[in-house]
């Protein structure tokens, strides 16, 4: 005697099929596929977009969406990074020499521009494009991490450098934590400071992290929290396209 089909199971299988088909047809971006796993803000309590965001989107929104789609990045993530980096000021220059909307260091800009047959200059469009490429590269640097872990690690690397984050991953692994989880790396970043040199001597033959001591971890932790906060707001308040 044949058992009756489980209607719920059939519905779930059909849903999985169409979701998979949608991914194949639309080519979901890295940031969309590994979207930040945070609590979605209820529709009736979504914060109003501030005036600065509206002004930026009016002038540069279409350009940022286009370049983000070109390189497979959720444009709202790029917007969150851009806001945290420069507060929407195209002429921003940091104390360390980072420039423009996405605060690109000249050395990074020259390297990326050379690879992608571009010229590194002060043009806002070029700055956004190079920043999106760099963010894409940071996302690709953590293939073993998923969801919010991948995004947080990539955002941290955008801020303090990929090698810094990899040093923190090495400490996390040494301590028996998951090096692919942001919570583990977040706890390990402070351990890159000179204060923990006795620990570091057990991990690196040189006795210190690959990228040297890191005492500005607090700035990176705040940076990641802020970017994820803005990204969650933008995901709720702005359409994907």
Please give the Cα distance from 179 to 188 (Å, whole number).
9
119 included as an active-site residue = no
CB contact at 8 A, 41 and 236? yes
DSSP 163-205: HHHHHHHHHHHHTTS-TTSHHHHHHHGGGGSGGGHHHHTTT-T
Strand ranges in the chain using DSSP code E only, listed in sequence order: none
Which candidate in 85, 99, 119, 216 is catalytic? 85
> DSSP secondary-structure letter at 99?
B
Q: How far is CA 19 from CA 11, 15, 16, 24, 76, in A?
A: 12, 6, 5, 9, 22
Please give the Cα distance from 87 to 79 (Å, whole number).
10
Name, in order, each residue with C-beta under 8 angstroms of 214's C-beta and a sequence gap of 6 or more: 160, 164, 167, 189, 192, 193
The first and second tokens of residue 206, run together, are 């040189």
Active-site amino acid positions: 85
């Amino acid at each position: 005697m044949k058992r009756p089909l489980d209607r719920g199971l059939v519905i779930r299988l059909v849903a999985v099929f169409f979701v998979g088909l949608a991914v194949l047809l639309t080519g979901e971006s890295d940031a969309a596929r590994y979207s930040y796993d945070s609590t979605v803000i209820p529709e009736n309590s979504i914060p109003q977009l501030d005036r600065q965001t509206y002004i930026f989107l009016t002038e540069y929104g279409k350009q940022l969406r286009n370049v983000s789609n070109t390189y497979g990045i959720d444009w709202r993530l790029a917007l969150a990074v851009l806001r945290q980096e420069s507060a929407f000021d195209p002429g921003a220059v940091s104390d360390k020499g980072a420039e423009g909307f996405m605060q690109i260091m000249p050395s990074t800009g020259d390297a990326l521009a050379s690879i992608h047959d571009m010229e590194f200059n002060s043009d806002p469009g070029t700055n956004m494009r190079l920043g999106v490429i760099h963010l894409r590269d940071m996302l690709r640097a953590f293939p073993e991490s998923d969801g919010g872990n991948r995004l947080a690690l990539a955002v941290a690397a955008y801020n303090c450098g990929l090698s810094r984050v990899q040093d923190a991953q090495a400490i996390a692994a040494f301590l028996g934590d998951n090096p692919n989880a942001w919570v583990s790396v977040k706890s390990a970043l402070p351990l890159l400071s000179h204060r923990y040199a006795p620990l570091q001597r057990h991990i690196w033959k040189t006795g210190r992290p690959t990228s040297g001591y890191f005492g500005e971890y607090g700035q990176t932790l705040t940076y990641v929290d802020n970017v994820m906060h803005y990204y969650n707001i933008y995901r709720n308040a702005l359409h994907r396209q």
